[in-house]
Structure 1
Amino acid sequence: MRIVILPLTVAAAAVAFATPALAQDAAPSAVPTGIEEQMAGDSITVGVAAAYITDYEGSNDYRFTPAPGVLATIKGYTFTLLGNRASVDLIRDNPGPTWDLQAGPIGLVNFNRNSNKSIDDRRIRALGELDTSIELGGFVGIGKTGVITSPYDKLSVTVSYRHDVSNVHDSAIWQPTINYFTPLSRKAAVGLFASAERAGRGYARTYFSVDGAQSLASGLPVYNARDGWKNWSLGVIGTYALTGDLLKGWKAIGGVVYRGMMNDFKDSPVTSIAGSKSQWASALGIGYTF
């Protein structure tokens, strides 16, 4: 069984693995001795979730798949692995209410339509399997800790760029994202995010166009998709400590995302006839922080 991740951004999905946080209503005098030192120290969270996602991008059929994750902060540098996506923030974070500059490499393994075994719709299977693409690039962003509810909530904005280096779709994807994270208590935290993706001509042609031969095989009409804004997403994601607190121990992880397809990606028969412009994804799992 291949492993993928529901379409969460790296920054927003990291909320599910719970960056260290305190209660939003905790007064300074209520902070336990040594807690600030713990928050400034190294932290590693590992987890796995059962994700409920579409069979392919634009599908109206769904399936379950495992989604592993790792979030590690070592000496202020953060590494994130979430299913098929990995990134490293090469700008060191500082503890406490402060500004946070973000920049580093990002990579993604795109499994979209690489196996007909995971696709129910016979028309999409008839279009043919596609190779797995490797998308590499980078991201930049800025965040602010201590914004609205407490000294520990965080608002951030990032922009990432990826390009296919495996010559599958041989084009670029831009992704701006805004997310907000806040602790609700020593045991619970929640995050909200909004994101969008702009895809290049090669991506549109590979995944959303239908040529003459594919039309004869599938019964879908011929369609030539153009580049542009591909989709927008809104999501909520959270975590609850089952043992200890958000700084250490076992925790439950969950999230729900809505994605709306746009422009030629919405109008393509891959989406409008065989699939749906409305996409949902969800995940529920468990993690451990040490």
Structure 2
Amino acid sequence: MKKLVPILLACAVAPFSGGVAQAQSAPSDGGPHGVVAIGPGVVPEFDGSRDMRVLPFVMADVRWGGVNVQVRGPGLRVDVISDPRLSFGPVIGARLPRNDADGRLGLLPEIDTAIEAGAFVGYRFGGDQYGQGALQMELSVLHDVSGTHDGLLATASASYAAVSNKDFFLSIDAQTTLANSDYTRTYFGVDQAASAASGLRAYRPDGGIRDVGAGVTAGYWFSRNFGITARAGATYLVGDIADSPITEEGRRWQPAAGLMLSYRF
């Protein structure tokens, strides 16, 4: 599981264009078809961090029969509804630990990797046979099942397939996340003991909107099966989280980017 966690975390910042998998027609025998992409990426070391770390970026959208397996959004998810417009299913993801932090943040208690599970629902409006022009609206709700922060996070997102054809695709997306106080106090709170140890002021945030963010994903197919995909995005911490001394030591902007080799089948 520890080897799988960094891959899932990298996916958490990489929504996939719904038109990409459609650019390759389904096989006549009903077998699996779709797209898999992998390559290097950079993400914040932990929630609110100023420092970045290199991780593998993985994005996938594979359909087999009436089931669509996707590595996107908050991690790994399965669309169990065989419908071209409506999507629904379970989600599992992971959140990077806070350990080996620099400066005063390194004097705070370490936070283990969190495993989060829940469900998502989405609906696609418009779009041609390749998905171009489609607007995808989604809502996902995740709860920590590892006992790391015991929090609940709800993310609303929208993505638009600006270009999607057999050779090139470009999509833009935006999102915002609502987090409860269990999450905010674990990652952005400072109790009296932690304040005395680190020198940071004590702080007890409430729940609320965690961030707003946007990103762009683009790719080019230089053959029938192989291509390249690039992803860049960022979120901006807001609300009580933005006022935390942990954010002041770190950064409100949380950027991420990746460059991947793509394979479609």
TM-score under structure 2 length normalisation:
0.88
Corresponding residue to 1:178 among 136, 158, 177? 158
- Counterpart amino acid of residue 268 in structure 1: S
**TM-aligned CA distance change 1:219 to 1:268, over 3 Å:** same
Q: Which residue, out of 132, 141, 149, partners 2:113?
A: 132
Q: Which residue of 1 aligns with 2:21?
A: 19
**Equivalent in the alignment of 1:32:** none
| 2:92 equivalent in structure 1 | 107
**Cα shift at 1:47:** 2.3
Give the counterpart letter for 2:43 in structure 1.
I
Cα deviation 1:135-174 (Å, max 9, x = unaligned): 1110111112427x98643111111111111221112100
**Which position in structure 2 is the counterpart of 1:204?**
184
Structure 2 counterparts to residues 55-134 of structure 1, below 5 A: 55-82=45-72, 85-94=75-84, 100-113=85-98, 115-116=99-100, 119=101, 121-134=102-115
| Partner deviation per Cα, 1:41-64 (whole Å, 9 max, x = no partner) | 741322212111112111222222
Contact kept, 8 Å, 1:210 with 1:223, in 2: the verdict is yes
Q: Which amino acid aligns with 2:250?
A: G
Shift, 1:122, TM fit: 2.2
Secondary structure at the counterpart of residue 111 of structure 2: coil
Partners of 1:143 and 1:83 in 2: how far apart?
Answer: 16
- Bigger CA radius of gyration: 1
Structure 1 pair 185/90, CA: closer, same or farther in 2 (3 Å)? Answer: closer
Change (3 A) 1:37 1:63: closer
Letter in 1 for 2:182: G
Quick one: distance in 2 between partners of 1:216 and 1:166?
28
| Aligned-pair CA distance for 1:232 | 0.7
Equivalences for 1:226-265 in 2 at 5 Å? 226-244=206-224, 249-265=225-241
For 2:11 and 2:89, locate their aligned partners in 1 and report how far apart those are by CA, in whole Å.
Answer: 22
Residues 73-105 of structure 1: CA deviation (Å, up to 9, x unaligned): 1124210125971101111134xxxxx011111
Q: Does 1:277 align with 2:257?
A: no
Q: What is the distance in 1 between the residues matched to 2:257 and 2:146? A: 29
8 Å CA contact retained: 1:7, 1:257: no
Q: Distance in 1 between matches of 2:35 and 2:148?
A: 33
Q: Distance in 2 between matches of 1:254 and 1:151?
A: 18
How far does residue 243 in structure 1 lie from its aligned partner after superposition?
1.7
Q: Which amino acid aligns with 2:163?
A: P
> Structure 1 residues 17, 63: closer, same or farther in 2, change over 3 A?
farther
Q: Contact conserved, 1:5 with 1:83, CA < 8 A, in 2?
A: no
**Counterpart position of 1:287:** 262
Structure 1, unpaired ranges of 5+: 23-34, 95-99
Asked if 1:166 is matched to 2:146, the reply is yes
Question: Which letter maps to 2:213?
Answer: S
Deviation at 1:199, TM superposition (A): 0.6
Q: Does 1:50 align with 2:40?
A: yes
Maintained 8 Å contact 1:6/1:283: no
Q: Distance in 2 between matches of 1:152 and 1:76?
A: 22
- Does structure 2 retain, via aligned residues, the 8 Å contact 1:16–1:190? no
- CA drift at 1:268: 0.5
Instruction: Give the alignment's TM-score, normalised by structure 1.
Output: 0.81
103 and 231 in structure 1: CA distance in 2 versus 1, 3 angstrom threshold: same
Aligned-residue CA RMSD (Å): 2.6
Residue in 2 that maps onto 1:157: 137
TM-superposed deviation, 1:283:
0.8
Deviations 1:212-259 (A, max 9, x none): 221122221111111100001111111111222xxxx11111111121
Partners in 2 of 1:184 and 1:229 — Cα distance? Answer: 32
Q: Which amino acid aligns with 1:279?
A: Q
Deviation (angstroms), 1:178? 0.7
Counterpart of 1:285 in 2: which secondary structure?
strand
SS in 2 for 1:56: coil
Q: Any unmatched runs of 5+ in structure 2?
A: none
Aligned counterparts of 2:26 and 2:47: Cα–Cα separation in 1: 43
